[in-house]
Amino acid sequence: DFSQNAAQEARANLDTFLSSHIPEDVKAEGHVLHGPIYKEIIAAADSVKADIIVMASHRPEMQDYLLGPNAARVVRHAPQSVMVVR
């Protein structure tokens, strides 16, 4: 099944990224989810009772100003503090 293989590959890539970029003394969890991006980020943060959401953003393009990028949606709707890093 394509979606299952894609999820497994994403999980492997995420695990590799976390193990090489996050110090062992920092508690961080990676999640591979499927659905509307900002809603899945907020739901995952709620489910693990996260204190803060840290996410990357890119330089906004015109379409982002009209539709709103996912980072902006998370900032607007998440009950947790959100740190957006460029």
pLDDT at position 28 is 85
pLDDT level of residue 57 (50, 70, 90 thresholds) = confident
pTM to 2 decimals?
0.73
Domain boundaries, the chain: 2-85
Of 69, 67, 68, the closest CA to residue 58 belongs to 69
3-class DSSP assignment, residue 56: strand
Annotation: CATH topology of 2-85: Rossmann fold (3.40.50)
**3-state SS, residue 76:** helix
Extract the tokens encoding 67. 């539709």
Q: Which of 4, 5, 75 is nearest to 41 (CA)?
A: 75
Closest to 3 in 3D by CA, of 33, 31, 30, 36: 33
